[in-house]
Chains A and B, each alone.
Chain A
Amino acid sequence: MNRTKPISGELLKLKNRIEGYAVEYGLDFFPQVFEVCDYDTINILAAQGGFPNRYPHWKFGMDYDQLSKGYTYGLQKIYEMVINTDPCYAYLLQVNNWVDQKIVMAHVYGHNDFFKNNAWFSNTNRKMMDVMANHGTKIRRYQEKYGHDLVENFIDKVLSLENLLDINELFETPEVKRRRTEIISQDVKERSDGEYLNDDRSQALKAFMRSKERAGKKETTQKKNLDEVEAPKEFAQLYSKRDIMGFLIQSAPLEEWQSDIIGILREEAYYFLPQRITKIMNEGWASYWHSRVMTERALDASEIVEFADKHAGVMYMSKQQINPYKVGIELMRDIEYRWNRGMFGKEYNECSDMNEKLHWDKKLNQGRQKIFEVRKSHNDISFIDEYLTPEFCERQKLFTYKFNPRNNRFEIDTKDFLAIKQKLLSQLTNFGQPLIEVADSNFQNRKELLLQHVHYGVDLDANFAQETLKNLFYLWRRPVNLATKYEDKEVVFQFDGKEFKVI
């Protein structure tokens, strides 16, 4: 059953109109496909990260459950889903009213342009729709072969490590990735001693593996000897030490289907990574453009109030959390304004007359050009680092807050520019996830695994760390250790399969 259908009639006309404006403004995007669907379908899509086909797993069911409830109770509504593919697919909710559809379309063209041009997206697979569907088929097949519960349980364990990624790997070219997969598939093959040919994999794949076997025979025998002596060094060459899933594929005692599943989950995690490190920019960029397109071109005079209402709703920012839409759009506008007036560079920065600074105008008009450059080369961290200014913080009334144990509540800490910037940056560092590295795969010379948490001021949640170590143990099958700092003390958490210890 087709749950989505291509737009037609008035919506199609609208699409062409908006696309015309986008081109006029100089946006550069993949071919855009809009489809409409009902709320149930959009909840499904949202639960599945925007994709119509994913591997089977209960977490999608959970997200779907929560989204459906949110919609039923009127707490939240998803207007649109857009995914980073070529052509770029976007789903509109059928019951959106006319103004909503206009905003959403204009917004989507902003995202599309960003997906296509931002450097961090340069190596993402744009055929991910097919890849995801294939992953689903593969995992379903494993489930049939090895049992649903076993496979789902294994996926649970691996998803525990899904956030331990190395953003530098985003710049790996497909060629590097291919080389690596080759080396590993040889490795795995060595380990499984030829039994791999008895399964039901496709003829093409078997032939491919056989040819690799012939070609790599000499190399692998040598490598095998090396493996026994210096396994830890080997992984450093293949995967970054922050790429925990990659490390496990290569070094953990896994069966072939298991390493295949880790590979699948790893690939999907890396696919979503660019979106996680450009949330502020991406939403800011898209919001900037929907606002421009709407107010300067697409809006009918009678729709202005409704647009303002909807736009304000999207931009609302609470005291407890920054809203990426709001910070993003305001920063983009600020950059445009500053570069239009030449409010940057040595001369401006060294000017000490506040009045002169306030009315600074060199009539450069480089704003538009500048924000296009910004959207090309930055991610959220460099974006904030480079363009957040004291004036901006003051104007936007930003502050930092912290927990006050005496009153048992969170309180405003400071409105100091550097503190705010520091806080924002540390929240964004490593896409807001703890930085964890493989430190030793033969810890204490007992084949134990040692991970190092690079501590920059914030402790890990001990309960979660414990549960995660349990899952890691399941994959590593030997005791696993995590070195970190907890309540100002250097500690090593260990899980040895039975109990959780602090060394």
Chain B
Amino acid sequence: MDHPIKRDHARFRKIIKGRIRDNLRKYVSEANQIVPKGSDKFTVPMPSIDIPRFKFGDKSQGGTGQGDGQSGDPVDGKQDPNGQPGQGEAGEGEGKKELEVDLSLDELAKILGEELELPNIEPKGKKSLQSVVDRYTNIGTSGPDSLRHLRRTYKQALKRQIAMDTYDPLDPKVVPIRRDFRYKSSDSKVEMQNAAVVIYMMDVSGSMGDEQKEIVRTESFWINLWLKSQYKDIEIRYIIHDATAKEVDETTFFRTRESGGTLISSAFNLCKEIIENDYNPNEWNIYPFHFSDGDNWSADDTKMCLELLDNFLLPVSNSFCYGQVESRYGSGQFYKDLVAKYGQDSEKVILSKIKNKDGILDSIKEFLGKGK
């Protein structure tokens, strides 16, 4: 049986998850709060949840220390790593007691899902993607000690002793020797899965500023999180465009700043190309996301976009999501055009306006709330 403290620990985890849920809006709107750690772990900072007590205010207290130095020298040589610079909180005597909580991708996605009441996605298509999974279902004669299979080891030792006639039923001692050791070993199995691909497209023309990109970045982080929790293997592709479009990696996607005009159709065309080349719509769940500030070069191009949507993108994808980030320069015309064509509540084309950072959470709900 596990030590009772594991129950206390589970209680604690439950409490902090509740806290994260309560403050989800804050976590979502303030970027870089949640730091990915490895592939499926996240570190979430949170204020200490310690029990309130009557205690002294930190500032007026001061303290005693030891070392060289003259009156007026700082005692906190460097900034307190916990303190946020610019908040006037840096450098407490004891260092601020902050919790850092590790959550797995599933836990975090669950919090998001519960808070936004997101339905689980019903994948389309059959399970067609092969993925190789290792499962410890086999027994081997070599391996690390941590995987030693005691029962099989002793069974083997018993067999050997009986065969060698060194086993005495009246004094049933079984002593395994090196040769008897058995280890759990893995079998590779091929499992079939639903496959999904997310294609992010972003307008990086002059009117999209850093703040707009930050919003897109944060939003895509949460969307990825949710989709990853729904599909085991998921591919993510990134396209940036101004008047022309190109495929880039993640870093470039969020860092690049281009200028110039905007031809949204260029991105849609590239998206179409990617799908045609790599993702068979019958086997893949396809999620194209497009973010822009709503400016398009010409009405002609918009018309072309709508055609592309109708003729190719909409039929092949689960849903097409368009997020319009408000910017000072953007006209927001593209949103209006899409609404005029598909209506506010279309099943296939999900539209969302993101006013500012606080709007991210609602926007995520709009995108993912349909369970597509």
- Report how far A47 CA is from B62 CA in the complex, Å: 28
The proximity string for A residues 131-170 relative to B, scoring 1 for CB distances below 8 Å and 0 otherwise, is: 0000010000000000000001000100111111000000
Size bin of chain A's contact surface: 35 or more
- Report how far A410 CA is from B93 CA in the complex, Å: 8
Shortest distance between the CB of A135 and any CB in chain B (Å): 13
Q: Which of A210-218, A360-368, A394-402 lies at the binding interface?
A: A394-402
- Confirm or deny: B135 has a beta carbon within 8 angstroms of a beta carbon on chain A: no
Q: Which of A78-86, A107-115, A343-351, A420-428 lies at the binding interface?
A: A420-428
- Whether A64 pairs with B54 at a CB distance below 8 angstroms is no
The proximity string for B residues 12-28 relative to A, scoring 1 for CB distances below 8 Å and 0 otherwise, is: 11010000000000000
- Confirm or deny: A467 has a beta carbon within 8 angstroms of a beta carbon on chain B: yes
- Whether B64 pairs with A423 at a CB distance below 8 angstroms is yes
- Whether A163 pairs with B66 at a CB distance below 8 angstroms is no
List the A residue with the shortest CB-CB distance to B76: A410
Known: A61-B10, A403-B59, A427-B63. A163 touches B54 (CB 8 A): yes
Shortest distance between the CB of A397 and any CB in chain B (Å): 5
- Report how far A415 CA is from B73 CA in the complex, Å: 12
Shortest distance between the CB of A439 and any CB in chain B (Å): 14
- Whether B63 pairs with A1 at a CB distance below 8 angstroms is no
- Confirm or deny: A462 has a beta carbon within 8 angstroms of a beta carbon on chain B: yes
Shortest distance between the CB of A180 and any CB in chain B (Å): 25
- Whether B54 pairs with A319 at a CB distance below 8 angstroms is no
List the B residue with the shortest CB-CB distance to A402: B62
Partner of A411, one of B59, B64, B73: B73
Shortest distance between the CB of B72 and any CB in chain A (Å): 5
- Confirm or deny: B60 has a beta carbon within 8 angstroms of a beta carbon on chain A: yes
* Chain A positions within 8 Å of B138 at CB level: none
- Whether B65 pairs with A319 at a CB distance below 8 angstroms is yes
Partner of A44, one of B3, B52, B91: B3
Known: A318-B65, A321-B65, A411-B75. A1 touches B1 (CB 8 A): yes
- Whether B74 pairs with A56 at a CB distance below 8 angstroms is no
- Whether A398 pairs with B65 at a CB distance below 8 angstroms is yes
Give residues 464-503 of A contacting B (CB, 8 Å).
464-465, 467-468, 470-471, 482
- Confirm or deny: B137 has a beta carbon within 8 angstroms of a beta carbon on chain A: no
Known: A62-B12, A410-B74, A412-B71. A434 touches B54 (CB 8 A): yes
* Chain A positions within 8 Å of B60 at CB level: 403, 457-459
Known: A48-B5, A58-B11, A322-B65. A471 touches B52 (CB 8 A): yes
- Whether A59 pairs with B51 at a CB distance below 8 angstroms is yes
Interface size for B (C-beta < 8 A) is: 51
- Whether A401 pairs with B65 at a CB distance below 8 angstroms is yes
Known: A160-B51, A413-B62. A399 touches B69 (CB 8 A): yes
Known: A408-B88, A408-B90, A410-B91. A319 touches B57 (CB 8 A): no
- Confirm or deny: B53 has a beta carbon within 8 angstroms of a beta carbon on chain A: yes
- Whether A414 pairs with B54 at a CB distance below 8 angstroms is no
- Report how far A405 CA is from B89 CA in the complex, Å: 11
- Whether B53 pairs with A44 at a CB distance below 8 angstroms is no
* Chain A positions within 8 Å of B102 at CB level: 69
- Confirm or deny: B70 has a beta carbon within 8 angstroms of a beta carbon on chain A: yes
Known: A320-B65, A413-B62, A424-B64. A464 touches B5 (CB 8 A): no
- Whether B12 pairs with A61 at a CB distance below 8 angstroms is yes
- Whether B88 pairs with A64 at a CB distance below 8 angstroms is no
* Chain A positions within 8 Å of B1 at CB level: 1
List the B residue with the shortest CB-CB distance to A149: B11
- Whether A468 pairs with B63 at a CB distance below 8 angstroms is no
- Confirm or deny: A60 has a beta carbon within 8 angstroms of a beta carbon on chain B: yes
- Report how far A145 CA is from B237 CA in the complex, Å: 56
Give residues 37-67 of B contacting A (CB, 8 Å).
49-67
- Whether B93 pairs with A152 at a CB distance below 8 angstroms is no
- Confirm or deny: A409 has a beta carbon within 8 angstroms of a beta carbon on chain B: yes
- Whether A458 pairs with B56 at a CB distance below 8 angstroms is yes
Shortest distance between the CB of B60 and any CB in chain A (Å): 5
* Chain B positions within 8 Å of A57 at CB level: 8, 11
The proximity string for B residues 125-156 relative to A, scoring 1 for CB distances below 8 Å and 0 otherwise, is: 00000000000000000000000000000000
Partner of B69, one of A69, A163, A319, A453: A319
* Chain A positions within 8 Å of B7 at CB level: 56, 61
- Report how far A159 CA is from B53 CA in the complex, Å: 8
- Report how far A159 CA is from B51 CA in the complex, Å: 7
- Confirm or deny: B274 has a beta carbon within 8 angstroms of a beta carbon on chain A: no
- Report how far A471 CA is from B73 CA in the complex, Å: 41
* Chain A positions within 8 Å of B88 at CB level: 408
- Confirm or deny: A290 has a beta carbon within 8 angstroms of a beta carbon on chain B: no
Shortest distance between the CB of A348 and any CB in chain B (Å): 26
- Confirm or deny: B310 has a beta carbon within 8 angstroms of a beta carbon on chain A: no
- Whether B62 pairs with A433 at a CB distance below 8 angstroms is no
Known: A409-B76, A411-B74, A411-B75. A434 touches B62 (CB 8 A): no
Which A-B residue pairs are the 3 nearest by beta carbons? Answer: A467-B52, A61-B8, A61-B12
10 pairs, A vs B, C-beta closer than 8 Å: A56-B11, A321-B63, A321-B93, A396-B66, A399-B69, A400-B65, A412-B73, A453-B54, A459-B57, A467-B52
**Known A162-B51, A318-B65; further 9 A-B contacts with Cβ < 8 A:** A1-B1, A44-B5, A61-B10, A64-B5, A65-B9, A412-B65, A433-B54, A460-B56, A464-B55
